[in-house]
Structures are given as C-alpha cells and as structure tokens.
Amino acid sequence: MSETKNLKIPIYAVLFTVIFKLLFLFTHYIQEDAFISWRVAQNLLDYGVIGFNGNTKISASTTHLYVFVSYIFNLIFGKENFIEPLLIFNSILFTIGSFFLSHVLLKSNWQKAIFIFLIGILPPSIKISILGMEYGILFFLEMALLYYGFHKGKKWVQIILPVFILFTRIDTVIFLGTVFLIDLFWNKKINWPYILGGILGIAAVLGFNWIYFGEVINNTIVAKKIAYDNHFTLVQNIEYFTQNFANFWGMLKLPGDFNPVTIIILTFELLCFVYLIRQKNKRNYFLWIIFIFGWIKQVIFISQKSLFDWYYWVPQILLFVPVLIFILEQKAKKKLWLSLLIIFYIFPMFIFQTVHAIATGNGEWNYRRHIGLFLNTYEKDKNQWIFLEPAGYIPYFSGLKTIDEVGLVDKEVQREIQKDKANFWMNTVKKRKPKYLLSYEDLYQRKDAEYFRLHYRLVKEFRIKDHLKSDYKLIEKIYILKPSGSDYNLYERID
C-alpha cells in the first residue's frame, strides 16, 4: 500500500491511543494540584472571583487558561460530572500534540502512527493525559506552534499561540525563548512576528496578573519561592543536583540517589540525538528545539530545587523522541530494534506506570478524598477554616475555607513565613484560630502540646493502612506493595 493510501493511519493512531489510555481513568489517579485549579474554577463559578476562599482574589492556580477551561467544563457538565470529560479532553489534546510532533519529524505515515502510540504510553504521557493537570493543553499548544507556526510557516500562528501558551503557564517563556534562539541561529535573521507574539503573550499574562490580582508574578510561584527557599553553598548545590537529576531526567523514579536506568537512557538519548543531527535534514531544526529545550528546562528547575514531578513531564518526553526516531528509521533489523525497545523499555515502563497509577490512585482518590468527604459531612458550615497541607483533595471535597502551609491559597501564611519561618505554623494557629487542624503529627506530643490540649480535641485518626484493601486480590497486592498516602490526625477547636 502506498503512502498516499496511508494518510489516515496517524489519525487512527490518535484515536486508538486515546481509547487505550482511557483505561487509566479507572485508577482514579488524579494529581493533588489539579483539584486546586478545579476549586479555583468553581470559585469563579460560585462567586464570580478567581480565588480559592469565597470572594477573595488570589492566583491560587499556576495556570490561568486551564482555570478558564475547567470553568467551562463545570458550566457544561456540572460540578459532579465534569472531571471525566475534562480528563478525556486533556488526553485528546495531548495525543493531537504528538500527532503534530510526528509530522515535523517523520515522513512515513506508519512510522508516525507507531510514534504516536509509543510516545502516548510513556509514563509522563499517561500522567499528562489523566492526572488532570494543564499539560495536555500545554503540549498541544506548543506542538501546534512548531507544526503550524514553524513547519507550515503561518505567521499569524507565531503571533497568537505564544499568548495562549504563556497564559497556560508563565514558565513556558523557557520553551518560547528556546524556539526563538534556535530559529535565530538556524535562519540567521530575526523573526519579528514571533517576537511580537512573545511580547503580546508576556504583556497579556503579566498585565492580567497586575490588573486583576495586583501582582506581576502568580501567587503560587511567589509562595513556593518563600516556603521552599534554602540558601545552599556551591558544594551543597552540586550535591543536591547529583542526588536528584537522575530521578527527573528519566521517567522512572526510584528510591535513593543513584538511578542507573535513567543514566543509561540519558546516554542513549544523547547518542541518538547526535546520530540524527549528523544527517543533513530539515527536521534537525525541530530536533535541536525539543532537545535543547528539554535540557534547559530540566537544568533550570533542578537548579531551583523544584522537585515536583509535573515540571519534568514534557522535557522527559521530548528528550526521548530521538530514541524513537532512531529506532523507527533503522533500515536493517528495524523490527528487531523496535521489538527490543518495546520489550525492554516501553512495556516495563508501562507496567510500572500502571502499578504506580493504581497504588497512587488509591492513596489519593480512595483515601485522601475520603478525608474530605468525612469533613464535608461532619462540618455543615462551609465558612469554617481548616489549616492543612496540601490544599488539593481535602479542601475540594470538604468545601471548607482553607489555609495551606505553603501559602498557595492564603497569602497571610506567606507573611508569617517571612516574619518567622521556624515558627510560622504555630503563629498561624494562634493568630487565625482555625476550627480544624489536619496534621501529620500527634499535636499532643509537641513541645507546645499544652496549647493544643486546651484548645483542640482529637476528632479522628486517618490511617493509610486502613485503605489497603480491595475485592480484587491483585489490586490489593499492589496497594500493599506501594502504599500511597500519609497518616493524618484531625483536630477541632473547642473554644
């Protein structure tokens, strides 16, 4: 069959990949921070304010565009039913993004189809699709920019899409900046429409922040910087980097500091990239963009001690792209190469992610959501406050007003951290007197236990060990093998 008769095969690959990944919806593996964005969207629905607690404005979500998209899905499907349609939407957008990427890198439609499916079932691709974060939209927009803006040469796309990309996440300036630099070196001229798009995007997101929230940078970025700020020496920074890079460059996080699997894959990625760019091919322009961006994004975020997995999902995928291209384009023993890749890497990684999704989905959806639902029933007055960390599942399902320990959804915590970081938690409790405290520790065993004995009573102990059962023995074994979640103690103020 000729290539002209295979034009629809990549489209079929998109549909098959999306349907295949829908199985992961049954794991209920949804990222904690997704519920922050969704509560902000529902706050906009209920109060007409982008916030987290009633009519108080705060950029509690890192992503403005995804908040608006989530708002629309809540409006259409209702608060009780919007999650699954939104996750399917995210998965579709991500897979279409991989479709665009395949078109700028490969010629054969069969190669594109295989590429779309294998990229789609990598662990970070599954997480982008089903964890409820904004990266499905982001990957779609970034790959659409490469395909329509730079592969097809659509100038209007180069102007418009940077605005949407920056409105999704402000740190995408790294991606847009990398594209600009590679384009400048490659074509030896300044791309003025793209510069205009970048200026409009930066002006739009910063202007929106300033006009609506009275701040230039999103509150979430400021809060994390304040809460996680550590002053390290050069030697400490180097040690920190060597301890963490292996678990973030690759797709497999393992306990401990040394991850040989990631180091092997990283080496293979580099070798494949060097092999491909030695060939004189127009696609090298895009290979340079995605590979340099992957490295720059990883280095910047690890150097800033950002250890949240989602910052690394897109770079992990893009850094692995040269490996797939190298194997798909082997003329001799291609089936052997592809079989070895699937048997020894793709399939094990897929199984690992499946086990991880089932275990973590239990710890998040079945356990942490259970705490939120308990509070929702226990406390009918939704104007009462709870002080806890993190601010995702439990505030969302409890409906209570929330103070979080990082200050993502409450700016007063940030001020307390700046005044007295060592004692900010206790100072916040005494000053704000929240009705509920949800703590990882036994407050009656602290050095200031007397205060809690006088003012708070223990309501309930939540233990992850109580949520490691299932009617299905295999799933129960997975729960026990990889228990996900933390023990909590719930306290209620008595005066």
428-440 pLDDT per residue, tens: 999 999 999 999 9
Q: Pick left, alpha or beta for residue 96 (phi over 0 → left; psi -120 to 50 → alpha; otherwise beta).
A: alpha
Cβ-contact 49, 213 below 8 angstroms: no
Q: In the structure, what pLDDT confidence band is assigned to residue 85 with cuts at 50, 70 and 90?
A: very high
Tokens of 454: 């006088």
* Helix pair angle (424-432, 411-419), 10° resolution: 130
Q: State how far the Cα of 177 lies from the Cα of 473, in Å rounded to an integer.
A: 50
pLDDT at 9 over 80: yes
pLDDT at 341 over 60: yes
pLDDT at 115 over 50: yes
Q: In the structure, what pLDDT confidence band is assigned to residue 225 with cuts at 50, 70 and 90?
A: confident
Burial of residue 204 (CB within 10 Å: 0-12, 13-18, 19+) is middle
Q: In the structure, what pLDDT confidence band is assigned to residue 4 with cuts at 50, 70 and 90?
A: low
pLDDT at 148 over 50: yes
* Alpha carbon distances (Å) from 45 to 38, 59, 381, 404, 493: 10, 15, 20, 22, 31
Residue 329's nearest CA partner among 372, 287, 366, 365 is 287
pLDDT at residue 5, as a whole number: 59
Tokens of 13: 């690959």
Q: Is the dihedral of CA 204, 205, 206, 211 positive or negative?
A: positive
pLDDT at 130 over 50: yes
Write out pLDDT tens, residues 454-476.
999 999 999 999 999 998 999 99
Q: pTM for this one?
A: 0.94
Question: In the predicted model, what is the mean pLDDT of the chain?
Answer: 92
Write out pLDDT tens, residues 162-214.
999 999 999 999 999 999 999 999 999 999 999 999 999 999 999 999 999 99
Residue 99's nearest CA partner among 236, 7, 208 is 7
pLDDT at residue 305, as a whole number: 77
Those residues whose C-beta lies under 8 Å from the C-beta of residue 18, and which sit 6 or more positions away, are: 88, 91, 92, 95
Tokens of 124: 């970070």
Q: Which residue has the higher pLDDT, 335 or 102?
A: 102
Q: Which residue has the higher pLDDT, 299 or 116?
A: 116
Write out pLDDT tens, residues 42-60.
999 999 999 999 999 999 9
CA–CA–CA angle 301, 71, 227 (5° rounding): 30
pLDDT at 2 over 60: no
Write out pLDDT tens, residues 374-430.
999 999 999 999 999 999 999 999 999 999 999 999 999 999 999 999 899 999 999
8-state DSSP, 81: T
Cβ-contact 45, 375 below 8 angstroms: no
pLDDT at residue 430, as a whole number: 96
pLDDT at residue 264, as a whole number: 85
Write out pLDDT tens, residues 238-267.
777 766 666 676 776 666 666 777 888 889
Peptide bond just before 124 cis, omega within 30 deg: no
CA torsion, ordered 292, 298, 304, 308, to nearest 10 deg? 150
